[in-house]
A and B are shown apart, each in its own frame.
Chain A
Amino acid sequence: MNVFKSMGAKLAVFCLGAALTLSLAACGDQKAEQKAADKPAVEAKPAPAADKKIKVGFVYVSPIGDAGYSYAHHQGQKAVAALPFVESSFVESVPEGADSERVITNMARKDFDLVFTTSFGYMDSTLKVAKEFPKVRFMHCSGFKTAENMSNYFGRMYQARYLTGMVAGQMTKKNILGYVAAFPIPEVIRGINAFTLGARSVNPQAQVRVVWTKTWYDPALEKDAAVSLLDVGADVIAQHQDSPGPQEAAQQRGVYSIGYNSDMSAFAPKAHLTAAVWNWAPLYVQTVEEVKNGTWKGGQAIWWGMDKGVVDVAPYGPMVPDAVKAKVEAKRAELKAGTDTVFVGPIKDQAGKERYAAGQKAPDADLLGMTWFVEGVVGTTE
């Protein structure tokens, strides 16, 4: 039944990076920022009294046990729940649309102080509820709309992808890297591009082949997709999927793999080189502390990178040689220090056309709406 596929498995996880204010020339958002700029006084409730606990709610789009996207958010929730002044709860597997609006409204009615809505598809619902409940604070993951009491946030996962690409590029012998991807949305495309750029920075011969599964979560299909890539010669499999299916396929064939969302080495200890992982705890904890101190501001577009610890790579597998690690660590140190040179030109697209000249850095707005592949990627963006 497709319904259950939708609810439980095939859940859209459209994570968009938040656009910086300049890029959002569209009226609504501009007004919201101006309002926020004109009225620095916080519209939301004043900081809760010192002895009262802060109620923080989380809305997840898939089951937390999926070891993937929602699981990663949930680890952040646990960090928040561990804080002594916080009372936190969550609702999982909430479909986007009417259901999410109801769940978020429910939390607002129950006097939650802060609500995190962790999927792109919750954007319109979060905004609607935010307007109805001006005293509640909302943090929406990966959207582009804001309000006085609503900010959006995301992480620069592409930085981690770049690093994993560097590992893959050095470990491949056949120069064919396989990528099992869910949906052709900007975040996924951006990740593939960063991966490719990273791989080709250390191995200009490397080629990345993409297979779309059109599902976030179907372990068997994802495994099949990985096998199809293995059959055309790929010897490293990366994924933008929420199940470890592709990892398993790689291990069974005796080749390498790159995980996603969390460290997937438990599923494929012989194949797992590293993974591009989320670490939401720093962002969540800081947000909650801002609420406690009364310094939280709405209307923000927050896009944190490796320098804040929101994304990173998982520990390297035992099969990764020191020389490979050294190169990657050097770049990682740069990123952690705040120097982001992932999407700095010269960058050409699949057709060979130059998109960014040497030294030119792609603006965030371009990254957020990225729908084309860089040179070196074999596959369509449809």
Chain B
Amino acid sequence: MPALRVIKRDEPWRGGALAIVLGALAFSLGAGILMLAAQGKSPVQGAVVLWQGTFGNVFALEDALRKSVPIFLCSLGVAVAFRMQVWNIGAEGQFALGAIGATWAALSFPGLPKIVLLPVMFLAALLAGGLWALIPAWLKLKLKVSEIITTLMLNYIAILLLDYLVFGVWKDPTSFGFPMTPEFSPAAILGPIGGTRLHWGFAVCLVAGVGLWAFFRFTLLGYELKAGGEGARVARYAGLPYGFLVGFVMTVSGALAGLAGCVETSAVLGRLQPSLMAGYGYTAIVVAWLARLEPLPIALASFLLAVLRVGVENLQLEMQIPAAYGMIMEGLILLSVLAGQFFQTFRLGRREG
């Protein structure tokens, strides 16, 4: 019989979250670097190249900031839903719908001044994303169908819908038959901030992040959601019907992902095309979980994950390491964080007798 037993802590280990994440990162990086050796590459060189492609390089950090914008927004959305244990796996599809909504606005009103068009686009994206998330919410409430499945299926459908639109009615007549919408008019483009490489989507992130943080902090509903736990319990304390809450969190969740879609389409691509879809919706789930569903850690985690992605690209460029390497690292980090989080609530102690 083992001499150890598991004891629940009286209070969660406060400093634990940070220690766990750092420990997980260290473990995963270590394992990952060793894996390079298995492929005949020098682990030391790998570590150096990774450093150079991430923190050792201002450009890389800038790139990572840009990349973290859509991840951050989607992640905020995922966190809102996950706090109520509503498992919204559909951020990817809601992202697509948001892009579609924004594109509709951009293509329908290209002549409007920027000060009007951009908000209209945002609104369209928020609505489209929110509504797409409301479908699984309704199915969950009315028919008790699991949202895990419906949101997932709607992801596939959303992407096919995007394909259908860019191959069909929205196809740019001057694009030689290629599936892409016409380029957005300048009024529909979210431009760069001053002379930097960052675009105004960054500002959108700040607003959304602060807004959500304030919501969690200062409203009763937000407080209860932040406390998390069983959905019905949250409803009881907040004094609101469970059904309303589910609808609310899903709509907000979908709206945020939709907003991300709008920002990416407008600021980065300047038109709608299938290559918009880059898996941000799924990465967002990883990030939200790593960050324990809280806004500030989500900002940090999306940045870190973006940094990792950028660094792995450098590994590809300098050492011809396959692109899949980044996925292995992400998976390992997440799993080790999950394992480590155990120690926030429990500790090991000696078995008596």
A touches B in complex, CB < 8 A: yes
Q: A residues bordering B, Cβ < 8 Å? A: 1-4, 6-8, 12, 14, 16, 19, 26, 57, 63, 89-99, 101-103, 105-107, 109-110, 120-121, 124, 144, 183-186, 189, 214, 368-371, 382
Size of the B side of the interface (Cβ < 8 Å), in residues, is: 42
Bound-state CA distance A351–B313 (Å) is 49
Contact of A89 among B279, B317, B324 (CB under 8 A): B317
B268 pairs with A97, CB closer than 8 A:
yes
Q: Cβ of B226 < 8 Å from any Cβ of A?
A: no
A98 pairs with B66, CB closer than 8 A:
yes
A97 pairs with B275, CB closer than 8 A:
yes
Contact of A97 among B63, B276, B313, B318 (CB under 8 A): B276
Q: Which residue of chain B is the closest to A214 with respect to CB atoms?
A: B163
Interface string of B175-208 (1 = CB under 8 A from A): 0111100000000000000000000000000000
Q: Report B195 CB to chain A, min CB distance, Å.
A: 12
Bound-state CA distance A370–B273 (Å) is 19
B59 pairs with A109, CB closer than 8 A:
yes
Q: Which residue of chain A is the closest to B159 with respect to CB atoms?
A: A2
Contact of B322 among A14, A63, A99, A101 (CB under 8 A): A63
When A95-B275, A103-B313, A184-B167 are in contact, do A2 and B92 touch as well, CB less than 8 Å? Answer: yes
Contact of B176 among A99, A107, A369, A382 (CB under 8 A): A369
A2 pairs with B323, CB closer than 8 A:
no
B313 pairs with A102, CB closer than 8 A:
yes
B270 pairs with A124, CB closer than 8 A:
yes
B318 pairs with A89, CB closer than 8 A:
yes
Q: Cβ of B39 < 8 Å from any Cβ of A?
A: no
Bound-state CA distance A308–B268 (Å) is 37
The interface residues of chain A lying within 8 Å CB-to-CB of B313 are 91, 94, 99, 102-103, 106
Q: Cβ of B274 < 8 Å from any Cβ of A?
A: yes
The interface residues of chain A lying within 8 Å CB-to-CB of B176 are 16, 19, 144, 186, 368-369
Q: Which residue of chain B is the closest to A17 with respect to CB atoms?
A: B176
Within B148-162, the residues touching A (CB, 8 Å) are 155-156, 159-160
Q: Cβ of B320 < 8 Å from any Cβ of A?
A: yes
When A109-B59, A371-B177, A382-B168 are in contact, do A89 and B278 touch as well, CB less than 8 Å? Answer: no
Q: Cβ of B227 < 8 Å from any Cβ of A?
A: no
Bound-state CA distance A1–B167 (Å) is 23
A183 pairs with B278, CB closer than 8 A:
no
